[in-house]
Structure 1
Amino acid sequence: MNYAIIAAGEGSRLAQEGVALPKPLVKLNGIAMIQRLIDIFAKNNADSISIIVNEEMKQVQEYVKQIKLSIPLNIVVKSTPSSMHSFFELRDYLRKGKFCLTTVDTIFKEDDFTKYIQAFIADENADGMVAVTDYIDDEKPLYVDVDDNMKVTGFLDKSDSCKYISGGIYGLTPKAIDTLEACLSGGQSRMRNFQRQLITDGLFIKAFPFPKIVDVDHAEDIAKAETFLNS
């Protein structure tokens, strides 16, 4: 399994709220968020880990460059306008077999993630498996419509009937990269539009429910995330 971490955002809201560290280096229970992801991925069948960081975050660049792993660690330094563009910059590291992509501020429990990855590895039919949760604490949630077999039928900005929202963890196969490249060529710029296009292109995407996933977007979210992980 190849893993990828998008850590190219500016973290401007955290900075405006007095958080001195760049978002990837913000610590939860004493561990930098980016390090926590790397540690979890390394324990879950990682063949490689690829990371994109932006050009301005010199502290993050220095941090990731000193990391030593027994598997390939690919680092891309580039500022991008969106998560989808960051994914695009990592795509050449993800063309061989199944891969899992997430943003650096997506916080989940390790046991839940292991169950998810094992299910994705074992699934021989799906073109992808995305994490979903019925815990909604997002400013702009992306609702995920599923059928009775947890096949994703749509990604919606608004919904009164969907139980789940996207958790920001994307397990995919190389077929999804074709869709990604077409989206960029067509002028798309948002990750949620890429997800919609996966369904339009006929890819079989399944949803895997997590009890809870949280994002660290604001200073107050740091304490919330630590409480969640310790519960």
Structure 2
Amino acid sequence: MARRFSVAGGAPVLRRRPAHQLAARAEGDSPVIPRAGGIIAAGEGSRLRRAGFAMPKPMVPIAGVPLIESVIRNFRAARITPLAIILNEGERDCVEWIRARFPDVDIDFIVKTTQSSLESFGEVTARRPGGPMLVSTVDAWCVAADFVGFVQAASARTADATVLAVTPLIADESPLRVTVGAGGRVTALGGDTGDLVTAGMYLVPERVRTLRPAPGLGRLREFLAWLVRSGEPVYAEVIERVVDVDRADDVALAEALALAGRVS
């Protein structure tokens, strides 16, 4: 049975702030632009392999462009370098491909098969210490302009804020839903209700990068929910269209959006 792609009914809780509002906030709050980025690409991609994609997940093409290339292009468009990229041990060949494709980008590669998304997150955020880091999963597909818009909006938050990209485009069988309160602050993660879901991109402040997770946390989503419950300042910024590319129909949806963007 085909999966259902839907945009949650009604208006999103948050709207992307106009550029003039972002500029005013940035001027008043002295935003700290992330000077380093991280890409989590250590997942096995088993569901895509079962659907017939024989290549490693970072190399799965969207409209002819591998996922890893799309994400690196987004970071470059946002002028965020250097990068730390974690790949699993079955993806070693990707390292040389990336180096050849992006010889001008300073990239620190971590080749390690981790036990969880939280472990991969910890490996990436431990690299390039000092200041905030912008982290993206390799399967969070969006156009570069939307990625740059998220970076600008997230950077306008206070320096101690963790900022999650969220989207009303729900194309996941187990989405992490987000409850947002006044001023865009995240009040809860998880549950069965809500018009927004996490989108696989995070602005992580220096303090959270060095924070030791509570015992028993096994997944990145559990760590993020723990931050919210602990009273950490966690905020949401909307990207209208982000596709979590885990299955063949996710590839089809992302390709439709990519091709629509090229002809618009």
Structure 1 runs not aligned, ≥5 long: none
Measured in 2, the distance between the counterparts of 1:154 and 1:106 equals 21
| Match in the other structure for 2:107 | 73
From 177, 202, 211, give the equivalent of 1:170: 202
Measured in 2, the distance between the counterparts of 1:230 and 1:89 equals 34
| Match in the other structure for 2:192 | 159
Larger Rg: 2
In 1, are the aligned partners of 2:70 and 2:141 still within 8 Å (CA)? Answer: no
TM-score, normalised with respect to structure 1: 0.91
Amino acid at match of 1:174: E
Measured in 2, the distance between the counterparts of 1:120 and 1:69 equals 28
| Match in the other structure for 2:213 | 182
In 2, are the aligned partners of 1:126 and 1:206 still within 8 Å (CA)? Answer: no
How much does 1:168 deviate?
A: 1.2
From 82, 86, 89, give the equivalent of 1:55: 89
Measured in 1, the distance between the counterparts of 2:161 and 2:120 equals 21
Amino acid at match of 1:84: L
The yes-or-no answer on 1:35 pairing with 2:46 is no
How much does 1:125 deviate?
A: 4.9
| Match in the other structure for 2:22 | none
TM-score, normalised with respect to structure 2: 0.80
Equivalent residue of 2:182, what SS? coil
In 1, are the aligned partners of 2:48 and 2:246 still within 8 Å (CA)? Answer: yes
The yes-or-no answer on 1:192 pairing with 2:225 is no
Amino acid at match of 1:151: R
Amino acid at match of 1:147: G
Equivalent residue of 1:66, what SS? helix
From 103, 117, 120, give the equivalent of 2:154: 120
How much does 1:47 deviate?
A: 2.8
How much does 1:206 deviate?
A: 1.0
From 215, 223, 227, give the equivalent of 2:252: 223
**Greater Cα shift, 69-78 or 208-217:** 69-78
Aligned counterparts, 1:195-210, within 5 A:
195-210=224-239
Percent of matched pairs sharing the same residue? 32
Measured in 2, the distance between the counterparts of 1:86 and 1:171 equals 16
How much does 1:118 deviate?
A: 0.9
Equivalent residue of 2:226, what SS? helix
| Match in the other structure for 1:16 | 50
Large movers: runs of 4+ above 6 Å: none
| Match in the other structure for 2:60 | 26
Change (3 A) 1:221 1:57: same
How much does 1:169 deviate?
A: 0.8
| Match in the other structure for 2:240 | 211
Q: How many residues were matched structurally?
A: 226
The yes-or-no answer on 1:105 pairing with 2:139 is yes
How much does 1:137 deviate?
A: 1.5
**Greater Cα shift, 19-28 or 55-64:** 55-64
Change (3 A) 1:130 1:94: farther
How much does 1:67 deviate?
A: 4.4
